[in-house]
A and B are shown apart, each in its own frame.
Chain A
Amino acid sequence: MDRSQIWKFNNNVDTDQIIPSQYLLLPTIDEMKAFAFEPILPDFAKVVKSGDIIIAGENFGCGSSREQAPRILKELGIRAVIAMSFSRIFFRNAINIGLPAIICKEAYNAAHHGDQAELDLSKGSLKIENNILSCTKLSPIMQRILDHGGLVSFLNEEVL
């Protein structure tokens, strides 16, 4: 099982913190991702490593409908965002682009910034230090979309 480093965020991390609107006009996600979390953690994009996970409090991704928010996190190699709760548009967007967005009520209190974690997506379990936590299952439709890697593949392979 791969070990992931934890990035811990508080409640109500909004989409303007994840990617401020002035960068949404950059022509590619690749250019945009350098500005992830710029208002609160300007160095994030430089230091985050592929396979890292985000653990957050309530209402992660509140605010605008910008799908670039989960997209840049995925492009930076974030393996999953685990939160006590998600704002609904971010939650749908994340699954639709194939970024696992996982609800786990206990993770926030169990996690410290920089801790190592083991995430087993198929079992829906998260191990932080010696705590093994279980995550809330996605609804069947969302799980199917995520299993296909996102809505585009889901539509191409399962629906159309």
Chain B
Amino acid sequence: MKHTSIEKIIINNLKRDNIQANDIVTVNVDRVMIHDIFIPFVAEKFEEMGFSKIWDPSKAVLIYDHLVPASSVEDIRHFKIGDSFADKYEIKNIHRSDGICHQLMLEAHYVKPGDVVFGTDSHTTTYGSIGAFSSGVGYTEMAAILGTGQLWVKVPETVRVTVNGKLPDNVTAKDIVLRLIGDLGADGANYKALEFTGSTIFDLSIASRMTIANMSVEAGAKAAIFEPDEKTAEYCGILFEDLPKISGDRDADYVNEIHYNAEEIVPVMACPSSVDNIKPVAELEGIPIDQVFIGSCTNGRLEDLTVAADILKGKKAADHVRLIVTPASREIYKQAARSGILNTLISAGAIITHPGCGLCCGRAGGILSEGERIVATNNRNFLGRMGPASVDIYLGSPAVAAASAIEGKIALPKP
């Protein structure tokens, strides 16, 4: 029997010989992530369900990121409820200001290749970058997992996405995933897994694979999956020989196959106000902007800040443009400080903010005003996402964001 990557992970999880797409199965959960916005609701539902202990407290991770640092007095309530829930039910893995949940789950090695992981945030698909099956759930369902260690899932059908060749200069993983979302549509992968393969994909860093896995949910995907390789082993701190074999069989039952030549991918943006409204940056050049945001769980990693710093080095953001840079974690923040990247960005006029989700989810740290326009590297440009509904959000790569900051309008990076 031939299987897709996700099917192999689930077969291994269930210790069964065989399963197929659309089977409904109950998986054993290897790790869960709960973030600050939903912890009060998880706690309430957990107690309503009558549980007295977490199935395995060592498998739960609690991360404060959406509300860090607090921007209203109400935010603190979430931290207090989180702290007391962790204390009562013996959760030791708590991060109170270390960075964005999806970055930390991988960076701190909470997730291993082959794991089955659920989180209270939709971008939990990010962990597919290292070969885990991971997806977002609501808070009631999270409470049920905390009590039982299990969750029912429908085995997803898989779309195989192959990218071969060498990406042109200034074309990045962000452009690959935006192009894919544009081609699939915002629901084109609904309930499905997106399995990525091809020479371009294996050439990508883990950070870039995270960008693609992160945004796969914007096409509706239940999960994204990348075959673990030497880079995965190194990132995860495990021996290559010890990696589980998670490679989709060539003749497995894929529901759809999509092929791209890397050479044909160009810098693109998701235009207001949907993630699948994709246009080449070349067609958007010259649109005036008020703000640029480089950060988020999609594009706030060291390689993203490095790309931006290379473009901004010795230059300044346009006078009227607010350039906001948010490293995805404290560790990235430290590395960017040590390597001089932060200094370059600060000298170019950037406002550096603490790792967190505030601006991306429209809560704090640079929200916009009526009728303003932003170029941003995060993952959603929904109406009202980063301020009032009249704000126009253009999503693009860190390279396009940095070039646009200098020009004060949407711009392609200079070759």
Which chain A residues have a beta carbon within 8 Å of chain B's beta carbons? 11-12, 14, 16-17, 20-22, 24-27, 38-40, 58-59, 62-67, 85, 87-89, 92-93, 96-97, 139, 141, 150-152, 155-156, 159-160
Given A14-B382, A150-B140, 18 other A-B residues pairs in contact with their CB atoms under 8 A: A12-B274, A20-B362, A24-B37, A25-B74, A26-B74, A40-B389, A66-B37, A66-B38, A66-B138, A67-B38, A87-B187, A87-B190, A92-B137, A92-B138, A139-B154, A151-B141, A155-B49, A160-B50
Residue in B37, B148, B154, B382 with the greatest tally of chain A CB atoms within 10 Å: B382
Dominant SS among interface residues on chain B: loop
B363 touching A22 by the CB < 8 A rule? yes
Residue of B at shortest CB range from A154?
A: B144
**CB neighbors of A among B169-212 (8 A):** 186-187, 190-191
B72 touching A25 by the CB < 8 A rule? yes
- Contact A22 B362, CB 8 Å, known A17-B384, A88-B222: yes
Residue in B75, B152, B186 with the greatest tally of chain A CB atoms within 10 Å: B186
Pairs A-B, 10 closest by C-beta atoms: A59-B187, A67-B138, A93-B138, A39-B384, A39-B389, A16-B382, A65-B136, A65-B122, A39-B383, A21-B361
Contact of B122 among A26, A59, A63 (CB under 8 A): A63
Q: How many residues of B contact A (CB 8 A)?
A: 46
Which chain B residues have a beta carbon within 8 Å of chain A's beta carbons? 24, 37-38, 41, 45, 48-50, 67, 72, 74-75, 77-78, 119-122, 124, 136-141, 144, 147-148, 152, 154, 186-187, 190-191, 220, 222, 274, 361-363, 380, 382-385, 389
Residue of B at shortest CB range from A38?
A: B384
Please indicate the chain B residues that have their CB under 8 angstroms from the CB of A59 in the complex.
Answer: 186-187, 190, 220
Once the chains are docked, how many angstroms separate the CA of A150 from the CA of B138?
13
Once the chains are docked, how many angstroms separate the CA of A92 from the CA of B148?
18
- Contact A89 B383, CB 8 Å, known A12-B187, A25-B75, A64-B121: no
Please indicate the chain B residues that have their CB under 8 angstroms from the CB of A12 in the complex.
Answer: 186-187, 274
Nearest Cβ distance between residue B194 and chain A, in whole angstroms?
A: 13
Please indicate the chain A residues that have their CB under 8 angstroms from the CB of B72 in the complex.
Answer: 25
A65 touching B389 by the CB < 8 A rule? no
B385 touching A16 by the CB < 8 A rule? yes
Once the chains are docked, how many angstroms separate the CA of A11 from the CA of B77?
36
- Contact A16 B121, CB 8 Å, known A25-B37, A150-B140: no
